[in-house]
Amino acid sequence: MTKLRGCSWIEVCGIVHEFLVGDTSHPLSEGIYSKLSELDKDLRAAGYVPTTEYVLFDIEDEEKEHFLGCHSEKLAVAFGLISTDCHEAIKLISKITGREIIVRDTNRFHCFSGGTCSCKDYW
């Protein structure tokens, strides 16, 4: 009997991204894992303790925590955060600096001005 690897999808800007447990094939893997590390620190500071007793591998608890930390769901969420946070940050930057900022993504131009975007957050 074999267990299928966990798989999760997230759609960002009209593109579906697929993640598997422990996946490092995404072009933004370095940023995704960096975000996961940040989130892990924040979660632990808030009192979160990973439940390792259900991990079926015969490995040390530290390794079990590693596998729990790179579940496909967590990878998809971290990717979503680093991909969408940029839009919010640029809106705020345009407001703080009082400047108009124009950015092109794969589908359209975005004109950020006064804390809003021309796409009306449709992106």
pLDDT of the residue at 55 = 54
Would you kindly state where each structural domain of the chain is located, as residue ranges? Answer: 7-117
Angstrom distance (rounded) from CA 123 to CA 120:
8
113 strand-pairing partners: 116
- Which of 66, 117, 68, 58 lies closest to 88, judged by CA? 117
pLDDT of the residue at 118 = 93
CA 74 to chain centre: 8
Give yes or no for residue 35 having a pLDDT over 80.
yes
Q: Which pair of structure tokens corresponds to residue 47?
A: 């009192």
Say if CB 92 and CB 86 are below 8 A apart. no
Q: Compute the C-alpha angle 69/105/90, nearest 5°.
A: 75
pTM reported for the whole predicted model: 0.64
Confidence category of residue 11, pLDDT binned at 50, 70, 90 = confident
Average pLDDT, the chain: 82
Angstrom distance (rounded) from CA 89 to CA 71:
27
